[in-house]
Amino acid sequence: MPDGQRYGPATVQHLNQWIAEGRVLPSTLLEDELTGTRSVAQSLIGLDFGPQMGGATPQTPPQPHQAWPSSAHPAYRPHSFNQPYAMAPLDRSGSLVTVSYILGGVALLSWCSPGLQILLVLTTLVTSIIARMKGERGSGCALGFAIIVLAVIVGAFLLFQAFRNMVPSG
């Protein structure tokens, strides 16, 4: 905002109203509530700057909005498909999550080498924990998958040991 304050979240209709009042300029930086991505207002689809924005000066600043229901209801998303500027860019940050899933799958398939299996499971756990600490999307599921892989491998090892102890050696 021209006054340096942060306001919102706001809908496209709200932003267009503020544009008409001179409170949002083409050079105003807007931040996506979900992703934190900042964009210059004039580059966003759906905002109407028209010819009147040549040198409009801000009138009175808008009052800061109270939190929308999204903070009280996590399933509620104020963004929708009729607000294309709010769409998040393609997220390619989940690479550690993908690596964790691949390592866990390979660990499940490597029954011929218990040492390699343990190494892969530990690497899967560490990778998914790092992804969780970085806040990557899907990291909680990857960590759960790593724990399940560890449980399956330990359970299979214990069953094998129990079976080996039951069979008389000849």
In tens, the pLDDT along 75-125 reads 444 444 444 444 444 455 558 888 999 999 999 888 788 888 889 999 999
> Are residues 134 and 71 part of one domain?
no
| 134 pLDDT more than 50 | yes
> Are residues 36 and 55 part of one domain?
yes
- Lowest mean pLDDT of 2-11, 19-28, 60-69, name the range: 60-69
Q: Domain containing 7: what range?
A: 1-89
> Are residues 83 and 51 part of one domain?
yes
> Are residues 81 and 9 part of one domain?
yes
> Are residues 82 and 101 part of one domain?
no
Q: How many domains does the chain have?
A: 2
> Are residues 140 and 159 part of one domain?
yes
> Are residues 37 and 20 part of one domain?
yes
> Are residues 63 and 121 part of one domain?
no
pLDDT attached to residue 88: 47
Domain-ending residue, one of 61, 89, 117: 89
Residue for token digits 């900042």?
38
> Are residues 83 and 33 part of one domain?
yes
Over range 35-53, report the average pLDDT: 77
> Are residues 77 and 138 part of one domain?
no
Domain-ending residue, one of 43, 60, 89: 89
Domain-ending residue, one of 66, 89, 112: 89
> Are residues 2 and 84 part of one domain?
yes
pLDDT attached to residue 139: 87
In 97-108, which positions are buried (b, 16+ CB within 10 angstroms) versus exposed (e)?
bebbbebbebbb
> Are residues 66 and 8 part of one domain?
yes
